[in-house]
Structure formats: structure tokens, C-alpha cells
């Protein structure tokens, strides 16, 4: 569990940014290391573990019961800080919860790296092993979904 000792805190911080609370974040990270241990997987590179935690958090968010519970207890004052606006919408848990239903897995993953982890498109491309153009296309679809949700929100209000 050397990798956990070294990277556990960084991964929990990452999960907190996505899920908005430490309890669920710790569970996600602990679940990852428990599974890695069971599989005899000794991966210790932070970028690899970062992706694994991201995908586990997104799977957690896709579960409607989890999503409802997170939103119910979400306190905006406790929201993770964000440095990058997304078309003037800071990605909070409420918007993220809507977007995971609008976007496919690849698009949602790119969304979190860009708008919650503040990665550049080049950094995302390197992490995912895809071209920058592909990242750009996925981000276009993210922005489109944000605009669509914003338009729908205005219509409803």
C-alpha cells in the first residue's frame, strides 16, 4: 500500500472536488485501493490513479440515488473551489449532476479534467492518450450541453 501512503491524500482531494464531501471521497479512494490490492495491481503512478478515481467518482455520480443524496446535502459554501469558468458557469455539483446525464463517459471525463482539475487541453490529451483535437471536440460537446441546460433553465424559470 505504498501507493496509497504516497498518493492517498491527493486522490481524496481529487474525489472531494468531484463529489463535494470527504466521506464519499474516502470511500471511493479506499474502494479503488482495495480492488487494486485484491487484483495484485501495484500501479503507483499518480496520473493513472487520478484517472481511476475520476472514473469511479463519475460512476458514483451516475447512480441516481447517490446523485440525489449528494445534491440534497450539498452546501454551496462547502463547494470545492474552481479556477476556471465554463462558459460563465462554474461547474458545481448541481450542474455536474445534470451533465453526467447529458454527456457520454468520454465527454464527462474530459469535462472534469478541464473544469474541475484545471487541466489544459494538451495535458488532458496526454493523460488520455488521445489527440488534442479529440479533446477539443469533446469539450465542444460539453459547452453545447451547458448552453442547452442553461437555455432550458431559463425557459423553466
Partner 1 sequence: MSGAARCNGEPISWLRLERYHLGEVDDAERERIARHLASCRACAACLEKIRADDESALPAIVPARPGARVRRLPRAVIFSSTIGTLAAAAAVVLALRGGGAPSEAGGHPGEIARVKGDAMAFSLVREDGTRIDGDAGTYREGDRWKALVTCPPGEGVSLDLVVFDADGASFPLEPSPDFACGNDAPMRGAFRLTGHGEAEVCLAWSSAGPVDRGSLAPSRAGAPGRVCKTLSAR
Residue 152 binds to partner 1 (criterion: CB under 8 A): no
CA gap 81, 14 in Å, rounded: 12
Answer for the pair 152, 98: CB distance below 8 angstroms, yes or no.
no
Kindly tell me which of 88 and 156 has the beta carbon lying closer to partner 1. Answer: 88
Q: Binding to partner 1 by residue 1, rule CB under 8 A? A: yes
Q: Packing angle between helix 132-156 and helix 121-128, nearest 10 degrees?
A: 110
Residue 7: count of CB within 10 angstroms of its CB: 20
Query: Does 92 contact partner 1 by CB under 8 A?
Result: no
Does position 4 interact with partner 1 (CB under 8 A)? The reply is yes
Residue 84, all three cell numbers = 476556471
DSSP letter string, 67-97: HHHHHHH--GGGPPP-S--BTTB---HHHHH
Q: Does residue 82 touch partner 1 according to CB under 8 A? A: yes
Does position 129 interact with partner 1 (CB under 8 A)? The reply is no
Q: Which stretch binds partner 1 (CB under 8 A): 39-47, 95-103, 131-139, 142-150?
A: 39-47
Which positions touch partner 1 (CB under 8 A)? 1, 4-10, 12-14, 17, 23-24, 26-27, 30-31, 33-35, 37-38, 40, 46-47, 50, 65, 69, 81-84, 113, 117-120, 123, 127
Amino acid at each position: 500500500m505504498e501507493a496509497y501512503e504516497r498518493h492517498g491524500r491527493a486522490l481524496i482531494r481529487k474525489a472531494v472536488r468531484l463529489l463535494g464531501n470527504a466521506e464519499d471521497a474516502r470511500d471511493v479512494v479506499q474502494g479503488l485501493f482495495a480492488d487494486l490490492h485484491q487484483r495484485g495491481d501495484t500501479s503507483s503512478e499518480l496520473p493513472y490513479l487520478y484517472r481511476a478515481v475520476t472514473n469511479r467518482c463519475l460512476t458514483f455520480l451516475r447512480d441516481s440515488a447517490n446523485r440525489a443524496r449528494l445534491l440534497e446535502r450539498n452546501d454551496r459554501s462547502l463547494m470545492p473551489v474552481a479556477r476556471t469558468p465554463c462558459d460563465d458557469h462554474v461547474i458545481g455539483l448541481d450542474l455536474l449532476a445534470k451533465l453526467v446525464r447529458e454527456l457520454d463517459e468520454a465527454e464527462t471525463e474530459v469535462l472534469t479534467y478541464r473544469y474541475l482539475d484545471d487541466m489544459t487541453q494538451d495535458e488532458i490529451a496526454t493523460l488520455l492518450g488521445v489527440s488534442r483535437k479529440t479533446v477539443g471536440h469533446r469539450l465542444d460537446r460539453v459547452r453545447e450541453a451547458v448552453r442547452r441546460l442553461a437555455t432550458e433553465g431559463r425557459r423553466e424559470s
